[in-house]
Amino acid sequence: MKKIILLFLILTGVLIAGNPYVILVSFDGFRWDYVNRGVTPNIQKFIDYGVHALSLRPAFPSKTFPNHYSIITGLYPQNHGIISNRFGNLHSGEWFGMRTTKNNWWVGRAFWETAEYNGITTGTYFWPGSRLDDETRRPTYSKVYEHEKPYEERIDSLIKWLQFPKEKRPHFLSIYFDETDTKGHMYGPNSPEINLSIQRCDSLLSYMILGLEKIGLIDSVNIILTSDHGMTEISKERTINIEQMLDGLEYTATGGDPFMMIQPSEKDREKIKTRLEANQRHYKFYERENVPEYYYYSKNGLISDFVLIADLGWMLIHNDDLEKWDNYASVGTHGFDHNQLDMHGIFIAKGPAFKKGYKTGTVWNVDIYPLLCEIFGIPQPQNIDGKLERIGFILDFN
Ligand code: AMP
Ligand code: ZN
Ligand code: ZN
């Protein structure tokens, strides 16, 4: 009988993985090289005693919603359906925005769903997709997004969840901070202001560590520091007005800035194509089915027929954008080609599951999902884009 139980435990991964804790942290817009500015002593300890990847490659487009959902589903946006922060279903006339919780937009299975299915309780303090209308797709503990919620209070809640009795306590947790994204847009990635935000994120990590020390969990918890994308400098001088270029033609445009989707009317299709193709300076024009393979951005009916991707630091704009710009001068942005290093985020992890003082090259954010499955010893789904073999070697037991 003992042998059968042992075999069962090995097969289910319980013996291999124990009953681990993982906290997945997202510092929105925290660029890969922000850790080299000499203002992050606590993150540095993670680098020294944990795993540090050179950078974390986001998925295209390097925007907040597509990438948080790629991290948590292991899927590229063309497969998980959140192809931008805001986009439309031009057939039904419905629009997706950052407050949309209707289930059908969100394809794939978030890690918290997989974990709960495997008997692991989960908690999320803000993460795109964590408050879907279908409650069976939510973590056991989650919160409605409040942009102004003080950061320390978010951490306090996490620590409180970790003090719940064992049968109610979450083992997979995630938490989100907008700090470096908000300030990165306002002041740019090379400003003194962003250095203060980077420092603020470092202090938040210290605050979280103190909380974990107080409840005696600091040695048991694995903490993964991630970001959804980086940030690059932009300028009013580097803009291309697509609306002006297509003046007099009929189409629907979605998005803008680093990338734009254009759904042409049937009657103007060829004219629009000719103009967009002919004017390709500082941006690239693709028909959906010809978007180069490495973007993984063509196999989804919600992507418009034409896709425009700006060169790094350039902006694709509409007529009223310049006026808006005068009221709110944005100095930094993201959304460009995900292979541009400026668009890369961080991946730094420390805890019992990880190698110590280990450095590796760039890792891909879709691979975090299979990594989490491996840490928790739960089966790898077959149908995801993430691959354990590209990242699993950072684990101490692999
Ligand atoms: P962006 O820089 O446009 O890609 O998006 C960043 C913004 O996303 C942040 O400033 C937040 O206001 C917003 N955001 C992040 N997470 C959520 C969420 N779970 N629900 C609603 N908005 C969010
Ligand atoms: Zn973001
Ligand atoms: Zn942003």
- CATH architecture of the domain 11-233+339-394 equals 3-Layer(aba) Sandwich (3.40)
pLDDT value of residue 328: 65
The radius of gyration computed from the CA coordinates of the chain, to the nearest angstrom, equals 22
**Alpha helix locations (H) across 279-348?**
321-327
Record the tokens describing residue 236, joined without a space: 């009013």
pLDDT at 8 over 50: no
> What mean pLDDT do residues 133-137 have?
96
Asked which of 17-31, 126-140, 261-275, 276-290 is least confident by mean pLDDT, the reply is 17-31
Q: Which among 116, 96, 66 has a CA at the least distance from the CA of 296?
A: 66
Domain with CATH 3.30.1360.180 in the chain: 239-329
pLDDT in tens, 48-89: 999 999 999 999 999 999 999 999 999 999 999 999 999 999
pLDDT at 329 over 90: no
Total-model pTM? 0.95
Confidence bin at 330 (pLDDT 50/70/90): confident
CA distances from 393 to 27, 222, 348, 368, 376 (A): 24, 16, 14, 12, 15
8-state DSSP, 43: H
Distance 64 CA to ligand 1 centre (A): 6
Q: Name the residue at shortest CA distance from atom 8 of ligand 1.
A: 64
Greater pLDDT, 5 or 302? 302
Give the integer Cα–Cα distance in Å for 207 and 201: 10
Most informative mutation of 84, 106, 147, 176 for ligand 1 (most atoms within 8 A of CB): 147
Distance 21 CA to ligand 1 centre (A): 26
Element (H, E) at 142: strand 141-142
> What mean pLDDT do residues 3-20 have?
51
**Alpha helix locations (H) across the chain?**
2-11, 14-17, 41-49, 64-73, 77-80, 111-117, 151-161, 179-187, 192-214, 242-245, 269-278, 321-327, 368-376
Answer yes or no: 180 catalytic.
no
CA atoms within 13 Å, Cβ hemisphere of 227: 29
Give the integer Cα–Cα distance in Å for 80 and 99: 17
Domain with CATH 3.40.720.10 in the chain: 11-233+339-394
pLDDT in tens, 180-238: 999 999 999 999 999 999 999 999 999 999 999 999 999 999 999 999 999 999 998 99
Three-state DSSP at 392 gives helix
- CATH architecture of the domain 239-329 equals 2-Layer Sandwich (3.30)
